[in-house]
Structure 1
Amino acid sequence: MRSASKIRGLTTQQKRELWDRWKRGQSLSEIGRALGKHAGSISGMLAIHGGIAPARRSRSARVLSSTEREEISRGLSAGLTFSRIAEVISRSISTVCREVHRNGGRNAYRASKADQRAWLQSKRPKKCLLAMNEALRLIVSSKLGLDWSPEQVAGWLKRKFPDNTSMHVSHETIYRSLFIQARGVLKKELVKRLRSRRGMRRSRQKSTEEKEIRTSISEAVSIRSRPKSVEDRAVPGHWEGDLISGSNNSHIATLVERQSRFTMLVHVDGKDSISVVSALCREVGQLPEGLKKSLTWDRGGELGNHKAFTVSTDMQVYFCDPQSPWQRGSNENTNRLLRQYFPKKTDLSGYSQGQLYAVAMQLNERPRKTLGYMTPAEKLESIFALTG
């Protein structure tokens, strides 16, 4: 018959194995099979800590060790005085006196019980920074409510209060306060404001397979032919673009300026090349001449009519290599941000161009780490100020 302790939960060794496997990116099912538990049980255990492995407890060098308690027990059995026992273990007499008296006195003292009692009593949860600083907690909550990421909030606070360290907090502390609900510091609803919408931390080693997309684009100019001035982001006016897709075969075109990370969202009536190119020409045509230099696009056939786009806007179009989304990394990162506003399986056809302007404005007013926590709007404004 299985022991009650094993039925209720996991042993200390099994818990360590659980967290080690979770850090390696194993799935709930894989971990469950290895530990003989249902995947749902593993999920519940991880959720308690928000997917963040709890720190392994250790004894402070200042407290009595189990070996020292054994020496105290032996000394008491031999009839030694507290003074002599203190000399043997190199501790003060008061330390020995308190230890013995709090654990039953000379006649009842047992080393193992005293050690177990001390270990249990030493587990005292400490309040985190956001729990102790109400002003900081309110600011963090308000910014998260505006769909800012914890990293953006942390960076903005350092920029906003450079000389007031009491208003600084690391993004890791914010994540822990969101994921570890036992802290009760930030409202659970704010987790839904995160870009990933996940309720717990996941391993960075977890990977997903990219779908292979093969398209044939007439006279496509490879990204390898793109000038080096585009690569180093030294000159404004070079853009990256792609489509994000929703349900019912609906799409939105996204454009990101490489230097400022300024984003444009474009309503398209369909994924066919004529619809996409005409919509891009309409919106890009409203840009100042200094911001119309080139466009780097994915391998999608929706820009098969790229020559018409170049004729209309005077912007050269470059195409990424197959299965190489990182070659337009700014656009990829922005598209992930946009999933906060347009979750997968959302029908995107219902959004008017005016509504897309509003979403783009909100995104362009969020600080970015890569810009020193300036917003894309501020960065673009500073570029125009420098160029006159």
Structure 2
Amino acid sequence: MHWVSDLIRKYWSPDQIAGVMARIGRRIRVSRQWIYALIQRNRMAGGDLWTYCRQPKRRRDQRQQAKCAGLGKIPNRTGIEQRPAEVETWLTIGHWEGDTVLHGHKQSGIATLVERRSGYLLAGQLPKVKAVLTSNAMIRLLRPIRGAVKTLTLDNGSEFADHQRMTEALSMKAYFCDPYCSGQRGTNENTNGLIRQYYPKGTDFTKVSQRELNQVVEALNNRPRKRLGYRTPAEIFWGEYSGALKTSGAALIT
């Protein structure tokens, strides 16, 4: 696909190319990983596409070694290709993305949950990054607003192996991204980047209290966003959640 190569030479990232193809609804779509494979094949053939990548020296061997770490440890995994099309419309609240922000090699961390439409953030401290502790944290965070929880999209980290208990507790569906396609959880990835402004790499999260973390979450949820017409994630989420509850006649859970 020559036009993909042309966009790479204009310094478009594979994530941007795949994302725009999905947004404009082209009949033929390609994934971010397919584009990286195209770049690699081009390089092996003596081409120059790799020189236009923003990170041409990515440690792909390390990524390959990590490939077995997640997928095989997640029982009854449902891929993102089975996720309802409604999630991609961004029209209603209730579709979440989940991830972890880590210290070292899963020595400690925080579980993060971001609602796609509003960008509303929830986060829980993880003294140890284990599947059962991650599920416990996410259940605790989402249970008070379970009426606004329909789907959850996760990456393939082994800390999400306990996803079935979480989905049963919250009566929702969980879906897993394609390997190494973080752009499929772009809202979460961007929000984790904002969290890193407060907690740079190397932060020991065992020394971060939940109260301190809550203050960071509150600050981010009340920061105006351009994509929201300079409204805040909290305004969008609570405004639409409260409206939905009034329409259904349900009580607001706090």
- Structure 2 distance, partners of 1:316, 1:255, is 14
Secondary structure at 2:144 match in 1? coil
Distance in 1 of aligned mates of 2:112 and 2:242: 25
Q: CA deviation at 1:286?
A: 1.8
Asked whether the equivalents of residues 93 and 241 of structure 2 are also in contact (C-alpha less than 8 Å), the reply is: no
- For 2:142 and 2:242, locate their aligned partners in 1 and report how far apart those are by CA, in whole Å: 21
The residue that corresponds to 1:322 in the other structure is 179
Residue ranges of structure 1 left out of the alignment (5+ in a row): 1-23, 25-203
Paired residues for 1:161-172 under 5 Å: none
Instruction: Look up the SS of the partner of 2:118 in the other structure.
Output: coil
Q: Distance in 1 between matches of 2:238 and 2:199?
A: 27
Given that residues 247 and 348 in structure 1 are in contact (C-alpha distance below 8 angstroms), is that contact kept between their aligned partners in structure 2? no
Q: Aligned partners of 2:109 and 2:92: how far apart in 1?
A: 30
Contact 1:226 1:318 in 2 (8 A): yes
| Greater strand share, structure number | 2
Find out whether 1:207 has 2:55 as its counterpart. Answer: yes
Distance 2:127 2:136 in 1: 10
**In 2, Cα distance between equivalents of 1:290 and 1:307:** 18
Q: Which residue among 151, 167, 171 is the counterpart of 1:294?
A: 151
Deviation at 1:339, TM superposition (A): 0.7
Identity %: 38
Amino acid at match of 2:215: A
Paired residue secondary structure (1:312) = helix
Q: What is the rounded CA distance, in whole Å, between the counterparts of 2:191 and 2:235 in structure 1?
A: 17
Structure of higher RCO (CA pairs closer than 8 Å, 6+ residues apart): 2
| Residue identity opposite 1:256 in structure 2 | V
Q: Match of 2:130, as an amino acid?
A: D
Q: Over alpha carbons, which structure has the higher Rg?
A: 1
- Displacement, 1:385? 4.9
Taking structure 1 as the reference length, what is the TM-score of the superposition? 0.45
* Alignment: residue pair count: 186
Contact 1:269 1:276 in 2 (8 A): no
Give the match for residue 272 of structure 1: 130
Unaligned runs of 5+ in 2: 1-10, 12-51, 247-254
Aligned twin of 1:282: 140
Indicate yes or no: 2:186 matched with 1:338.
no
- Matched with 2:79 is 222
- The change in CA–CA distance for 1:323 and 1:205 in structure 2 (over 3 A counts) is closer
Partner of 2:140: helix, strand, or coil? helix
1:313 and 2:147 matched: no
Q: Kindly report the root-mean-square deviation, in angstroms, between the aligned alpha carbons of the 2 structures.
A: 2.0
Using the TM superposition, give the Cα deviation of residue 334 of structure 1 relative to its aligned residue in structure 2, in angstroms. Answer: 0.5
Structure 1 contact 254–264 (Cα < 8 Å) conserved: yes
Q: Match of 2:110, as an amino acid?
A: I
Q: Tell me, yes or no, if the aligned pair for 1:240 and 1:255 is still in contact at 8 Å.
A: yes
